[in-house]
Structure 1
Amino acid sequence: MKEDFLHYVWKYSLFSFDDLQTTSKENLIIIKPGLHNVNSGPDFLNAQLKMNNQLWFGNIEIHLKSSDWYLHKHEEDANYDAVILHVVWEDDVTIFMKNNLPLPTLVLKNRVNETALKNYNELFSTQQRWIPCQKEISFIDGIIFLNWKERLFFERLERKSNEMIILLENENNNFEAVLFQLLVKNFGLKVNGDAFLRLAKSIDFSIVRKIGSNEFQLAALFFGQASFLEDEVEDGYYQELKKEYQYLQYKYKLQPVSKNQFSFFRMRPYNFPTIRIAQLVSLFCLHQNLFSKLMHIKSIEEFYNFFLIEVNSFWKTHYTFEKESKPSSKKMTKSFIDLLLINTVFPLKFLYQKSRSEVDESEFLGFLEKIKPEKNSIISKFSKLNICVKNAFDSQALLELKNTYCASKRCLECAIGRKILQKS
């Protein structure tokens, strides 16, 4: 048993209140169990009790064994001086307060609801399972599951947006500059994401603003900074880009990143770094004030149309500078645009709305409900457990469930886990 189970039992009163007494035989009435404290200090704050008809206000500390009080050295910490009740599973030693009187103690060992204890042991069984509740999750009430998925989705969105705060601070709250960095990073996908982010950080966004309307200069800047213009290639377009980049490099004192950071190995040609950079050039050339425009889009169809761009004619017949290929449009696929929306645009939009205290939760839910679910091993396994995954709202919520709750066995903080513990 873990201590957090006793926190759960105390918080939701899953124990017998009949003839409640402390170990010192004091009659006990619990008026308010207190507020669960997830930070340092006593486990529950501002509780209200009555012992031997005397009213007490203070904090509650919970341990598996009474001796844990000394093990954790609470007697040396002034934060625990206001503890009015010690709640334990097993009382193995008397705890004394600073006035040398025994600390009132309540033992829960023989008071916990037997069904809740059985459900807990089953949920936290040492048996190998992909998720602890895989036998029960498909039977959870639909309304409970839906409400929990909404909470999970916004927790995920909040976490992603919080990761962007540092970038925003570094760019003096310039959302356009942060969007530039994040979009470039996510154009690199998992394999080249870090390399693309380094590329973005090597270019001051003010330069992109200055030359953004000039597709040729922007291409020279991006490909030059990625060190793709350092070879000897006998192609007129390549030579012109190389010459233009040399001018830009001198003018803006640019330091390119290493080309060796970009991977082409075992990648589909459409995901080659060269193609993704070409798409970025077209995107930032076509849309000035990209962030502002994205923030005003109100439908998923508008987003798809927004990212519907044409690459330079050179790239319609090339995947790299060195070799010509069969003509193809090199347009971004819907699935790729979905990744950009989910991982970049929506979290940044959420952060922006939050900074203005005008978060529109229904708008985000509406967007995700119209996007197809991601395809990965986690979503496939949920599907095998008879969990319906209709759209990206479902898949995002389930990814958060698995990675943030199931993987760490945070079942007592999960609506599904709590429901299972409460079943009769």
Structure 2
Amino acid sequence: MKEDFLHYLWRFKKFDTLNLQTAQNQQITIVKTGDYLELAGPDFFNAQIIIDAQKWAGNVEIHLKSSDWYVHGHENDSAYENVILHVVWEHDTEIFGKNNVEIPVLVLANYVTSEILANYNSLVSPKSWIFCEKSISYIDSFIFKNWQERLFFDRLERKSKFIYDLLEETNQDWEAVLFLLLAKNFGLNTNNNAFFQIAKSIPFSVIRKESFEVENLEALLLGTSGLLDDEKEDVYFTDLKIRYYYLLNKYQLEKCHVDSVQFFKHRPDNFPTIRLSQLANLYQKHQNLFSRIIALKSVKDVYNLLGVSASLYWQNHYLFDKESVKKTKSLSNSFLDLIIINTIIPMQFAYSSIMGESVSEDLITFMNELTPEKNAIIDKFKSFGISSKSAFDTQTLLELKNEYCNHKSCLKCALGMELLKSN
């Protein structure tokens, strides 16, 4: 038994509300259960309760046991002075407020049906992965889809906080924020922090000024990454190194120390040399990328806009000084799908939110064009009968697992609450 179950019972009156009595044998009528704000202090604010024909307005506190009142020190806390009812599952002691007046206690265990309790125990009994794995596929599709939309926009809200912080740091420069976010996501999971540090170490004003010469952009990115620190006989390496130190001097920049970029366990096409070159070529091709990114409405448009390759040198290299079989190293559609999910959609959402525009339906349509992601979490949901037809589905399932299932927050989840009613 957890307190959140008692919150659920009280909030939605999932108990017999007729003939209620306090532990002190006082008659109770609930006029208003109160506002569930999940803030510090009592659990429900501004409740209205009639106790023995006397109407009271105040707050309601909920605990598993009455004695928890003292365990949490509420008797000395002024925030609990206006508690008019203490709702518990087990009454093990009388409780008194700061003014030494006894507070009425309602024991919910006396008024909850065995069916509701059985449903709760069924929902939260230990399972191998998530509590509802045997039931989730039976949830009404309308409820499931509505919850997916909520999950999708909750996920975007969380991602937007990072964007808003970057806007503050860059004096509201959306182009600079886009560059930082693109750099971070070009690094994928392994190099995202290192690439982000690289991008933050180079003023975007410098990127703007040098964007007409791709070698200068490569020199800045590769030099800041530390990949030009060695001595090599390679002509292209030497040229980039000379350019890098020239640009440091030109813009009075200090040589920065960032996290080392990683090659280990990467497919060659994901080597940091290739990804940084592709990023440089993207900014050489598009000097004003932000307005174009915001205007994108389809996956095809993204592929057309961001379809760039690494520089000519990298057609037959993955590393400096080591030739390889010639290959044009373009940004793949699968890589661009990740850029859409992690950069373009969050940027569009954040920008529209600040501008007071509604693009919710457009973003859902956009995500539904993308093929579903493949990972262990999505595969596990599929084994429970929850298949994904698009990236919209996979993103919402990731949000569900990471923000609800992992925290055992079934009673804050629309699916868990539905199962509690219908198990």
Q: Which TM bucket (shorter chain)?
A: over 0.9
Q: Distance in 1 between matches of 2:300 and 2:335?
A: 14
Q: Distance in 2 between matches of 1:146 and 1:327?
A: 47
Q: 1:198–1:257: 8 Å Cα contact kept in structure 2? A: no
Q: In structure 2, the residue corresponding to 1:319 is in which secondary structure?
A: strand
Q: 1:224-303 residue pairs with structure 2 within 5 A?
A: 224-257=223-256, 261-303=260-302
Displacement after TM superposition at 1:230 (Å)? 3.0
1:415 equivalent in structure 2: 414
Q: In structure 2, the residue corresponding to 1:164 is in which secondary structure?
A: helix
Displacement after TM superposition at 1:149 (Å)? 0.7
Q: Percent identity?
A: 49
Q: What amino acid does structure 1 have at the position aligned with 2:123? A: L
Q: 1:136-155 residue pairs with structure 2 within 5 A?
A: 136-155=135-154
Quickly say closer, same or farther: Cα 1:260–1:205, change in 2 above 3 A: closer
Q: Distance in 1 between matches of 2:355 and 2:265?
A: 44
1:93 equivalent in structure 2: 93
Quickly say closer, same or farther: Cα 1:403–1:98, change in 2 above 3 A: closer
Displacement after TM superposition at 1:248 (Å)? 0.7
Q: What amino acid does structure 1 have at the position aligned with 2:231? A: E
Q: 1:23-422 residue pairs with structure 2 within 5 A?
A: 23-125=23-125, 127-257=126-256, 261-422=260-421
Q: 1:221–1:245: 8 Å Cα contact kept in structure 2? A: yes
Q: Distance in 2 between matches of 1:300 and 1:416?
A: 31
Displacement after TM superposition at 1:342 (Å)? 0.9
Q: In structure 1, the residue corresponding to 2:110 is in which secondary structure?
A: coil
Q: What amino acid does structure 2 have at the position aligned with 1:106? A: L
Displacement after TM superposition at 1:258 (Å)? 5.2
Q: Distance in 2 between matches of 1:375 and 1:135?
A: 22
Q: In structure 1, the residue corresponding to 2:121 is in which secondary structure?
A: helix
Quickly say closer, same or farther: Cα 1:98–1:226, change in 2 above 3 A: closer
Q: 1:225–1:254: 8 Å Cα contact kept in structure 2? A: no
Q: Distance in 2 between matches of 1:260 and 1:340?
A: 22
Displacement after TM superposition at 1:232 (Å)? 3.2
Displacement after TM superposition at 1:259 (Å)? 8.2
Q: Distance in 2 between matches of 1:244 and 1:101?
A: 79
RMSD: 1.6
Q: 1:372–1:391: 8 Å Cα contact kept in structure 2? A: yes
Q: Distance in 2 between matches of 1:266 and 1:53?
A: 72
Q: Distance in 1 between matches of 2:228 and 2:44?
A: 62
Structure 1 residues 330-381: Cα deviation after superposition (integer angstroms, max 9, x where no partner): 1111111111111122112211111122131101101100001111000000
TM value normalised by structure 1: 0.96
Q: Structure 1 residues 255-264 or 322-331, which shifts more?
A: 255-264
TM value normalised by structure 2: 0.96
4+ residue runs of structure 1 moved beyond 6 angstroms? Answer: none
Q: In structure 2, the residue corresponding to 1:310 is in which secondary structure?
A: coil
Runs (5+) with no aligned partner, structure 1: none
Structure 1 residues 39-69: Cα deviation after superposition (integer angstroms, max 9, x where no partner): 1011011111222222221111111111111
Q: What amino acid does structure 2 have at the position aligned with 1:41? A: G
